[in-house]
Amino acid sequence: MPRSLLEQNARFVAGEFRTHADYYQHIAVEQHPKVIWIGCADSRVSEDIITGSRPGTMFVHRNIANIVSYNDPGLMAVLEYGLLHLKIKDVIVCGHTRCGGIEAVEKGVDEYCIADWLCMAAGAKERSDRIAAARGMDAVEKLDLLAMENVRSQLGHLNRLGLIRELRRQGAELRIHGWLYRIETGKIDVLIEGETGEPTELLRQYE
């Protein structure tokens, strides 16, 4: 497998990179990404491909179940560098359907590192349990709901970070978007509008 990746890289160099040499030479000097992307580590959710973006568009952090954890130094460094140094104004948290992390939150998991990590989705689980019970949802609907509620919950974590609160206090332009990528169709749904911070109808229907 790694060999085939290198072969595909050779095709990238000879094709896309050579065809758009000016662009790649431009971004070789310095990056000016417009978005911080916080997504799931899932192999099927490649942010560049699903949004039709070239390298240089997004500053990226991915982990299992697109979780925002205040004590994750990797994510905190991405946010600090992206917001303060790259001056990025838009942060997207993108969850997805058929997420193994979300399934593990739903079913419970014993493996210690994964279980510890997924504690950060406990709030979303409690909320989706309540809504699903009240509405008599089936297992598939409930997993989709949990994926959506997890995005809502992680946006809540982001909004409470000291760094974000301080930037807002200073009047910085900052929009935080909540999205859901549907693996079955390839479509991205907006759950929370970055401009207003308000949930769209898709999410509001569960309030």
Smallest gap from Cβ 101 to Zn ion, in A, equals 5
Nearer to Zn ion, 83 or 93 (CB): 93
Q: How far is the CB of 49 from Zn ion (least distance, A)?
A: 16
Q: How far is the CB of 132 from Zn ion (least distance, A)?
A: 19
Tokens 């896309």 found at: 16
CB of 40 or CB of 68, closer to Zn ion: 40
SS3 assignment for 56-95: CCEEEEEECCCCCCCCCHHHHHHHHHHHHHCCCCEEEEEE
| Distance in angstroms (rounded) separating the CA atoms of residues 207 and 201 | 10
42 contacts Zn ion (rule: CB under 5 A)? yes
- Please, which residue, 44 or 135, has the CB nearer to Zn ion? 44
Are 155 and 196 contacting, i.e. CB atoms less than 8 angstroms apart? Answer: no
Distance CA(5)–CA(188), nearest Å, equals 27
The nearer residue to Zn ion, 89 or 98, going by C-beta atoms, is: 98
Which one of the spans 4-12, 86-94, 97-105, 127-135 is the region binding Zn ion (CB under 5 A)?
97-105
Q: Give 88 or 158: the residue with its C-beta nearer to Zn ion.
A: 158
Which one among 38, 99, 118, 203 touches Zn ion, defined by CB under 5 A? 99
**Between residue 164 and residue 203, which ones bind Zn ion under the rule CB under 5 A?**
none
Q: Is 40 in the site for Zn ion (CB under 5 A)?
A: yes
Q: How far is CA 135 from CA 102, 106, 128, 145, in A?
A: 20, 17, 10, 11
Q: How many residues bind Zn ion (CB under 5 A)?
A: 4
Q: Which is nearer to Zn ion, 143 or 176 (CB)?
A: 143
Rounded distance between C-alpha atoms, residue 182 and residue 143, angstroms: 12
- Choices 27-35, 51-59, 94-102, 113-121 (CB under 5 A): range interacting with Zn ion: 94-102
Please state whether beta strands 188-192 and 175-181 pair in parallel, antiparallel, or not at all (unpaired).
Answer: antiparallel
Q: Which residues of 28-63 are buried (b: 16+ CB within 10 A; e: fewer)?
A: eeeeebebbbbbbebeebebeebbebeebbbbebbb
Span of 16-24, 28-36, 95-103, 110-118 interacting with Zn ion by CB under 5 A: 95-103
Contact positions toward Zn ion, by CB under 5 A?
40, 42, 99, 101
